[in-house]
């Protein structure tokens, strides 16, 4: 099995995981293969011709070159592969329905997206049914009429070997980490994947009509830790082997209990602090009295208190730490619950700035170095647990706990 997981969700979607909408999705070998491979190519000279091909009930990709010329590539069944489709559409060909990730979204919050930038049929992942079970990604998915349609305005071209290819409007970007998804991982380079699975450098802007340069030395095979960006949602791809080395929910729960067993105290109120349980921590509305809070600039962990405001009107964005007088944001701490985002099994002693999600040092460093696509032109580092944009000056902070005085 392989598993793509949605970046920005701390273990579950705001309204719970249901059916084809989940924060993570496991791909298993299908009972019957449903993979496809290109077969016959038709060059059609009228719009009417195009209709006759798609009625045959075969899958096809249509490349509209002009008002009166379309190239249709038919696809025939491939018994060696399974195909899984991802997109915004809830139509039956989509296996994994994704919606735009709201940066910094909290559980239970529904933020309406006025205009989604995720394609209805965004991409397809094709997995080999036999060893070595490679998974390849392709831009665009087949719709309910078994067609992928690239209109006149879409970037498309004929390759030197004669086969047609193209890009979707906002594109499908992939980044393979250097050194796998481990403690030693380093961010890779973002590339764009074509409809036929070739790798290109990024376009000048996300939806420019001119493609980037072909990168012959790279492939569309997904690796453990590969990131897939659909312009509005980013997926993290984990392999079955890779997941064997990540911490389990039980391990993260044990780390939480270990921190609580050390009875960290608020250095001001002297009350014992307790990290809420995994289930409770998903309900951000339920802030508890014992909840740990942190001054993010210095990392001193406290319980919640009302003093230290720089002025009457100021929020928690500018508070003065009673321990060291450093001024900065003051936020509650939440444990990162999604094990697939951890690069190691280290203790949760670091917090992302400014959201306060807690994880291991190496995990915090890794995600703070990755520039994720944002909107149609920007890139910035984000917390994997809530998609909040990280502070450019300081993406994470080391937590300083005070032990019990007795």
Place of tokens 């992942």: 125
Q: How far is CA 183 from CA 177, 240, 363, 399, in A?
A: 11, 18, 8, 20
Residue 306 banded pLDDT, cuts 50, 70, 90: confident
Residue 229 Cα to chain centre, angstroms:
7
Give 353-404 pLDDT, tens digit per residue.
Answer: 999 999 999 999 999 999 999 877 789 999 999 999 999 999 999 999 987 6
Give 18-46 pLDDT, tens digit per residue.
Answer: 667 777 888 999 999 999 999 999 998 86
Position 48 scores a pLDDT of 61
Rounded to two decimals, what is the model's pTM?
Answer: 0.90
Q: Is the peptide bond before 132 cis (omega within 30 degrees of 0)?
A: yes
Least confident stretch, 24-38, 85-99, 144-158, 299-313: 299-313
Least confident stretch, 59-63, 104-108, 167-171, 383-387: 104-108
The answer on pLDDT for 285 being more than 60 is no
Stretch 176-188: mean pLDDT, rounded?
92
DSSP 250-261: HHHHHHHHHHHH
Stretch 165-193: mean pLDDT, rounded?
94
By percentage, how much of the chain surpasses pLDDT 70? 84
Beta-strand relationship, 350-352 and 357-359: antiparallel
Taking the CA atoms of residue 287, residue 289, residue 295 and residue 296 in that order, the dihedral angle to the nearest 10 degrees is -30
């Amino acid at each position: 099995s392989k598993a793509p997981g949605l970046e920005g969700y701390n273990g579950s979607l705001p309204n719970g995981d249901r059916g084809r909408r989940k924060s993570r999705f496991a791909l298993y070998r299908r009972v019957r293969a449903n993979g496809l491979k290109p077969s016959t190519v038709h060059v059609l000279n009228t719009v009417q011709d195009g209709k006759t091909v798609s009625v045959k009930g075969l899958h096809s990709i249509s490349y509209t070159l002009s008002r009166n010329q379309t190239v249709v590539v038919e696809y025939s069944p491939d018994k060696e592969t399974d195909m899984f489709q991802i997109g915004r559409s809830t139509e039956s060909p989509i296996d994994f329905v994704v919606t735009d990730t709201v940066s910094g979204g909290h559980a239970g919050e529904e933020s309406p997206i006025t205009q989604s930038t995720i394609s209805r049929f965004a991409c397809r992942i094709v997995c080999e049914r036999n060893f070595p079970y490679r998974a390849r990604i392709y831009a665009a998915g087949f719709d309910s009429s078994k067609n992928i349609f690239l209109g006149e305005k879409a970037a498309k071209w004929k390759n030197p070997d004669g086969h047609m290819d193209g890009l979707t409007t906002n594109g499908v970007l992939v980044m393979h980490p250097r050194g796998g998804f481990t403690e030693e991982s380093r961010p890779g380079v973002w590339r764009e994947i074509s409809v036929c699975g070739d790798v290109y450098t990024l376009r000048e802007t996300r939806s420019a009509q001119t493609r980037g340069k072909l990168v012959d030395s790279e492939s569309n095979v997904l690796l453990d830790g590969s990131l897939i960006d659909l312009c509005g949602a980013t997926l993290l791809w984990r392999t079955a082997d890779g997941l064997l080395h990540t911490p389990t929910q039980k391990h993260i729960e044990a780390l939480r209990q270990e921190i609580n067993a050390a009875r960290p105290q608020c250095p001001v109120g002297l009350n014992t602090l307790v990290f809420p349980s995994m289930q409770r921590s998903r309900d951000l509305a339920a802030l508890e009295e014992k909840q740990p809070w942190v001054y993010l600039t210095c990392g001193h962990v406290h319980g919640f208190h009302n003093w230290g405001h720089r002025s009457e009107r100021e929020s928690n964005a500018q508070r003065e730490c009673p321990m060291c007088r450093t001024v900065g944001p003051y936020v509650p701490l939440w444990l990162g619950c999604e094990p697939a985002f951890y690069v190691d099994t280290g203790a949760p002693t670091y917090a992302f700035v400014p959201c306060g999600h807690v994880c291991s040092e190496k995990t915090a460093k890794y995600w703070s170095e990755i520039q994720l696509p944002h909107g149609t032109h920007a890139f910035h580092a984000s917390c994997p647990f809530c998609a909040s944009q990280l502070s450019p000056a300081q993406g994470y902070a080391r937590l300083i706990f005070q032990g019990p005085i007795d």
